[in-house]
């Protein structure tokens, strides 16, 4: 299970960025708290959410987006592999 820390939030952000996505934190009234613009490869997350909620959103997004693992360095590829093998619960 991933801990809800600023360090892990940064690791998830780096994973998504290196995987080809841009992450933006904006204010908005999203029903789910985030929005994924798949064609533009942009993820928009509600900036007023707490760290644990942001991490939860990014973990949820990782389940549905296609990350190009070839773009990841060894550490991020290992981290991504661990996340895929772990049952993530919110």
- Per-residue pLDDT of 22-41, as tens digits, reads 999 998 777 788 899 989 99
**Burial label, 58 (beta-carbon count in 10 A; 0-12, 13-18, 19+):** buried
48-88 tens-digit pLDDT: 899 999 999 999 999 889 888 888 999 999 999 888 887 65
Q: Where are the domains of the chain?
A: 6-85
pLDDT value for 90: 40
pLDDT value for 56: 92
pLDDT over 70 (residue 13): yes
The rounded distance, in Å, linking the Cα atoms of 55 and 79 is 14
Residue 10: which pLDDT band, with cuts at 50, 70 and 90? very high
């Amino acid at each position: 299970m991933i801990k809800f820390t600023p360090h892990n939030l940064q690791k998830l952000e780096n994973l998504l960025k290196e995987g080809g996505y841009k992450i933006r934190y904006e204010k908005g009234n999203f029903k789910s708290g985030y929005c994924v613009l798949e064609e533009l490869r942009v993820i928009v997350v509600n900036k007023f959410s707490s760290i644990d909620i942001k991490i939860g959103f990014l973990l949820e997004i990782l389940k549905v987006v296609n990350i190009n693992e070839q773009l990841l360095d060894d550490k991020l590829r290992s981290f991504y592999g661990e996340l895929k093998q772990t049952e993530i619960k919110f």
